[in-house]
A and B are shown apart, each in its own frame.
Chain A
Amino acid sequence: MRRICVLWQIIGGWAVALAVALLVLGMFPAVTFAAEPPWFLNPASEQAGQVARLFNIELLVATLVFFIVEGLIIYVVIRYRQRGPDDPVPKQIHGSTVMELTWTIGTSVALLFVLIVFWQTMTTLAAPPADAATLEVVVRGQQWWWEFEYPEYGFRTANELYIPVGQPVEFVLESDNVIHSFWVPRLGGKVDVVPGQQNRFWFQADKPGEYFGQCAELCGVQHAGMRFKVFALPPEKFAQWAEEQQQPAVEPTTDLAKFGKELFFTKGCAGCHAIAGTQAQGRIGPDLTHFASRTTVAAVAPRTDGNVARWVYNSEAIKPGNIMWQTMKNVPLSSEEVDALVAYLQGLK
Chain B
Amino acid sequence: MATRAEALPVPRVASWWSVLVDWLTTVDHKKIGIMYVVGALFFLGVGGIEALAIRVQLAGAERAFLHPQTYNEMLTMHGTTMIFLAAMPILAGLGNYFVPLMIGARDMAFPRLNALGLWLFILGSLLLYLSFFSGGAPDAGWFAYAPLTTKTYSPHKGMDFWILGLMVTGIASIAGSINFIVTILNMRAPGVKLNRMPVFVWTMLVTSFLIVFAFPSLTVAQVLLFLDRNFGTGFYAAEVGATPILWQHLFWFFGHPEVYIVVLPAFGLVSEIIPVFSRKPIFGYTALVYATVAIGFISFTVWAHHMFAVGLPPVVAYAFGASSMIIAVPTAIKIFNWIFTMWKGSIRLTTAMLFAISFVAMFVIGGLSGIMLATVPVDWQLTDTYFVVAHFHYTLFGGVLLSVLGACYYWFPKMFGRKLDERWGKVHWVLTFVGFNMTFLPMHWLGLDGMPRRIATYGAGLGWDVLNFVATVGAFTIAAGTVIFILNMVVSLWKGEPAGDNPWEGWTLEWATSSPPPAHNFDGVPPVESRRPLWNSHEKRVLTPAEVRALITPDEHVHLPPPSVWPLVVAAGITIIAAGFIYTMFVAVLGVVIFLAGVVGWIQQEGYH
- Chain A contact residues, CB within 8 Å of chain B: 4-5, 8-9, 12-13, 15-16, 19-20, 22-23, 26, 30-34, 37-41, 48, 50-51, 54-55, 58-59, 62, 65-66, 69-70, 72-73, 76-77, 80-82, 87-96, 99-100, 103-104, 107-108, 111, 114-115, 118-119, 121-122, 125-126, 143, 177-179, 181, 183, 185, 188-192, 194-197, 199, 212, 214-225, 227, 300, 320-321
Interchain nearest-CB distance for A70 vs B (Å)? 6
A12/B336 in contact, CB under 8 A:
no
A89 to B537, CA, bound (A): 11
A40/B450 in contact, CB under 8 A:
yes
Residue of B whose beta carbon sits closest to that of A73: B361
A50 contact set on B, CB distance < 8 A: 377
B462/A89 in contact, CB under 8 A:
no
Is B179 an interface residue when CB atoms closer than 8 A count as contact? no
How many residue pairs, one in A and one in B, have C-beta atoms under 8 Å apart?
299
Interchain nearest-CB distance for B330 vs A (Å)? 9
A118/B153 in contact, CB under 8 A:
no
A40/B244 in contact, CB under 8 A:
no
A283 to B182, CA, bound (A): 60
B448/A39 in contact, CB under 8 A:
yes
A196/B328 in contact, CB under 8 A:
no
Q: Could you tell me which residues of chain B, from 314 to 331, have a CB within 8 Å of some CB in chain A?
A: 314, 317-318, 321-322, 325-326, 328-329
Q: Which of A33, A115, A185 contacts B465 (CB 8 A)?
A: A33
Interchain nearest-CB distance for A271 vs B (Å)? 20
Q: Could you tell me which residues of chain B, from 537 to 581, have a CB within 8 Å of some CB in chain A?
A: 537, 540-541
Q: Which of A115, A177, A192, A227 contacts B310 (CB 8 A)?
A: A192
**Known A34-B461, A34-B462, A80-B344; contact A190-B361, beta-carbon cutoff 8 A:** no
B357/A51 in contact, CB under 8 A:
no
Residue of A whose beta carbon sits closest to that of B67: A320
B317 contact set on A, CB distance < 8 A: 122
Residue of A whose beta carbon sits closest to that of B373: A58
Interchain nearest-CB distance for A10 vs B (Å)? 9
**Known A19-B434, A40-B448, A190-B383; contact A179-B244, beta-carbon cutoff 8 A:** yes
B368 contact set on A, CB distance < 8 A: 62, 65-66
A195 to B337, CA, bound (A): 47
A181 contact set on B, CB distance < 8 A: 309, 384
B364/A218 in contact, CB under 8 A:
no
Is B30 an interface residue when CB atoms closer than 8 A count as contact? no
A296 to B311, CA, bound (A): 31
Is B494 an interface residue when CB atoms closer than 8 A count as contact? no
A122 contact set on B, CB distance < 8 A: 314, 317-318, 376-377
A222 to B72, CA, bound (A): 10
B69/A90 in contact, CB under 8 A:
no
Is B346 an interface residue when CB atoms closer than 8 A count as contact? yes
A95 contact set on B, CB distance < 8 A: 283-287, 337
Q: Which of A66, A89, A91, A103 contacts B541 (CB 8 A)?
A: A89
B279 contact set on A, CB distance < 8 A: 89-90
- Which of B318, B346, B430 counts the most A-chain CB atoms under 10 A from its CB? B346
Interface residues contributed by chain B, number (CB under 8 Å): 104
Interchain nearest-CB distance for B509 vs A (Å)? 19
Interchain nearest-CB distance for B262 vs A (Å)? 22
A178 to B247, CA, bound (A): 13
Residue of B whose beta carbon sits closest to that of A11: B426
A33/B339 in contact, CB under 8 A:
no
A90 to B540, CA, bound (A): 9
A55 to B463, CA, bound (A): 22
B311/A199 in contact, CB under 8 A:
yes
Q: Could you tell me which residues of chain B, from 180 to 219, have a CB within 8 Å of some CB in chain A?
A: none
Q: Which of A73, A111, A194 contacts B245 (CB 8 A)?
A: A194
Q: Which of B310, B333, B384, B453 contacts A194 (CB 8 A)?
A: B310
Q: List 29 A-B contacts (CB under 8 A).
A: A8-B349, A19-B437, A23-B437, A33-B466, A33-B467, A38-B449, A41-B448, A50-B377, A58-B372, A66-B365, A76-B342, A76-B347, A80-B342, A88-B346, A107-B329, A111-B325, A125-B377, A188-B380, A191-B380, A194-B243, A195-B239, A197-B243, A212-B462, A216-B383, A218-B140, A222-B68, A223-B454, A224-B455, A224-B458
**Known A190-B309, A216-B452; contact A178-B343, beta-carbon cutoff 8 A:** no
A94/B283 in contact, CB under 8 A:
yes
A66 to B381, CA, bound (A): 22
Is B148 an interface residue when CB atoms closer than 8 A count as contact? yes
Other than the known A55-B372, A93-B344, what 17 A-B pairs have Cβ atoms closer than 8 Å? A19-B434, A38-B450, A41-B448, A58-B372, A62-B371, A70-B361, A81-B349, A90-B346, A111-B325, A126-B314, A179-B148, A195-B239, A195-B244, A218-B72, A224-B68, A224-B457, A224-B458
Residue of B whose beta carbon sits closest to that of A48: B381
B537 contact set on A, CB distance < 8 A: 92
Residue of B whose beta carbon sits closest to that of A108: B329
A224 to B454, CA, bound (A): 8
B354/A195 in contact, CB under 8 A:
no
Is B225 an interface residue when CB atoms closer than 8 A count as contact? no
Interchain nearest-CB distance for A216 vs B (Å)? 4
B375/A114 in contact, CB under 8 A:
yes
A96 contact set on B, CB distance < 8 A: 283-284, 340
Q: Which of B145, B310, B376, B445 contacts A218 (CB 8 A)?
A: B145
B376/A185 in contact, CB under 8 A:
no
Is B482 an interface residue when CB atoms closer than 8 A count as contact? no
Interchain nearest-CB distance for B83 vs A (Å)? 16
B328/A107 in contact, CB under 8 A:
yes
Q: Which of A100, A114, A217 contacts B371 (CB 8 A)?
A: A114
Residue of A whose beta carbon sits closest to that of B379: A189
Is B487 an interface residue when CB atoms closer than 8 A count as contact? no
B384/A216 in contact, CB under 8 A:
yes
Q: Which of B309, B332, B453, B467 contacts A189 (CB 8 A)?
A: B309
Interchain nearest-CB distance for A317 vs B (Å)? 10
- Which of B347, B441, B466 counts the most A-chain CB atoms under 10 A from its CB? B347
B449/A32 in contact, CB under 8 A:
yes
A219 contact set on B, CB distance < 8 A: 148
A48 to B448, CA, bound (A): 13
Interchain nearest-CB distance for B71 vs A (Å)? 8
B441/A111 in contact, CB under 8 A:
no
B343/A76 in contact, CB under 8 A:
yes
